[in-house]
């Protein structure tokens, strides 16, 4: 009861802190990133679309620094430095473009690796490639340890190519879970690589586990799109949402335990976990909706047979926000 009361008292300041983080990043996007977007739109040869620009503005280019990066800073107890915001923002901005290399373009493995490692000398042919290189060079200019960044990016590449096998219907549930954790874990370590404070092995483990958790959360919210694109994830291949909830909860507990082992001041670790749990609590609301849909369809979850309305959880609705806050208060940290 005491822990729940403590989380309740922290709900408003935690939410207020996150809103402040959001405002700072939106201002940075208007002042800096929008210039790159406008120039890319003017010279676009058709390889960039509105979805790419939306991901840059409102998803990765916003969320990576404003949510992920700011929480790294919460953990260390020092505000985000200007160079870190620059690098983190452009890391986020290039993320959707990087995905396009695997989903839309015909680039070979060798071409993608060369672009990652030698952006200055890569002969970019398309607007997509040019914008990616532009963003990556800005990450390089503001990164304290380029070797660490490149090593992290290599791991992302291997995880990304491994995740392509999610379209293989023969994969087991354990294999899907492993791919999910690797994809999310290495992505989060990539985003951590541009921050100046040293990273211990324990922190590396914790971030990897949190990344896996966040990827599971993304898959839960993306169940409609993934099912329509025949992408196998833990949730699209599960017949019962309760199993998905158990896998998700297990990963959450592993991530929390790893964070609690970190050698940071306890109050900083606590604030970090408050922010993490506030964001993650949204997933339980989505799982509740999907579980209700499962019951209404005879107790079997078959996303390929369900509508968008049934599968997409609208977190802009006030009742869902209230439920998310309720889960946050009840979360065992």
Q: What is the chain's length?
A: 333
The reported pLDDT for the residue numbered 13 is 83
Mean pLDDT of 121-130: 95
> What confidence category does residue 103 fall into, taking pLDDT thresholds of 50, 70 and 90?
confident
| Tens of pLDDT, residues 189-235 | 999 999 999 999 999 999 999 999 999 999 999 999 999 988 899 99
The reported pLDDT for the residue numbered 167 is 60
DSSP 3-state of 219: helix
What is the C-alpha to C-alpha distance for residues 319 and 328, in angstroms, rounded to an integer? Answer: 14
What is the C-alpha to C-alpha distance for residues 54 and 60, in angstroms, rounded to an integer? Answer: 9
Contact (CB, 8 A) for 270 and 217 = no
Contact (CB, 8 A) for 238 and 304 = no
Provide the percentage of residues in the chain whose pLDDT is more than 70. 95
**pLDDT at 242 exceeding the cut of 70:** yes
The reported pLDDT for the residue numbered 233 is 93
For the ranges 56-70, 188-202, 245-259, 272-286, the lowest mean pLDDT is seen at: 272-286
> What confidence category does residue 128 fall into, taking pLDDT thresholds of 50, 70 and 90?
very high
**pLDDT at 285 exceeding the cut of 70:** yes
Contact (CB, 8 A) for 244 and 287 = yes
The reported pLDDT for the residue numbered 2 is 43
The reported pLDDT for the residue numbered 104 is 83
| Tens of pLDDT, residues 142-169 | 999 999 999 999 999 999 887 776 565 5
Contact (CB, 8 A) for 241 and 291 = yes
Predicted structure pTM score: 0.93
């Amino acid at each position: 009861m005491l822990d729940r009361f403590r989380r309740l008292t922290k709900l408003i300041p935690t939410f207020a802190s996150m809103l402040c983080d959001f405002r700072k990043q939106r201002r940075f996007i208007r002042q800096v990133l929008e210039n790159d977007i406008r120039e890319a739109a003017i010279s676009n040869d058709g390889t960039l679309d509105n979805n790419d620009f939306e991901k840059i503005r409102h998803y990765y280019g916003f969320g990576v620094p404003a949510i992920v990066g700011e929480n790294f800073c919460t953990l260390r107890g020092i505000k985000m430095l200007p160079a870190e915001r620059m690098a983190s923002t452009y890391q986020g901005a290039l993320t959707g473009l990087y995905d396009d290399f695997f989903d839309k373009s015909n680039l070979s493995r060798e071409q993608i690796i060369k672009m990652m490692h030698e952006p200055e000398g890569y002969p970019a042919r398309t607007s997509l490639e040019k914008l990616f290189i532009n963003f990556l060079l800005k990450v390089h200019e503001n990164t304290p340890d380029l070797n660490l960044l490149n090593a992290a990016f290599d791991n992302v590449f291997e995880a990304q190519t491994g995740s392509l096998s999610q379209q293989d219907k023969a994969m087991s549930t354990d294999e899907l879970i492993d791919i999910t954790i690797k994809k999310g874990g290495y992505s989060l370590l990539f985003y951590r690589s541009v921050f100046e404070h040293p990273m211990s092995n324990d922190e590396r483990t914790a971030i990897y586990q949190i990344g896996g958790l966040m990827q599971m959360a993304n898959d839960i919210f993306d169940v409609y799109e993934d099912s329509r694109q025949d992408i196998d994830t833990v949730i699209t291949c599960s017949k019962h949402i309760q199993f998905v909830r158990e896998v998700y909860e297990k990963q959450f507990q592993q991530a929390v335990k790893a964070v609690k082992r970190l050698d940071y001041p306890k109050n900083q670790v606590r604030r970090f976990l408050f922010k993490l749990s506030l964001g993650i609590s949204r997933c339980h609301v989505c799982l509740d909706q999907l579980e209700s849909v499962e019951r209404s369809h005879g107790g079997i979850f078959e996303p390929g047979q369900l509508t968008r309305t049934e599968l997409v959880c609208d977190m802009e609705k006030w009742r869902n926000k209230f439920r998310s806050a309720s889960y946050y208060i009840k979360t065992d940290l």
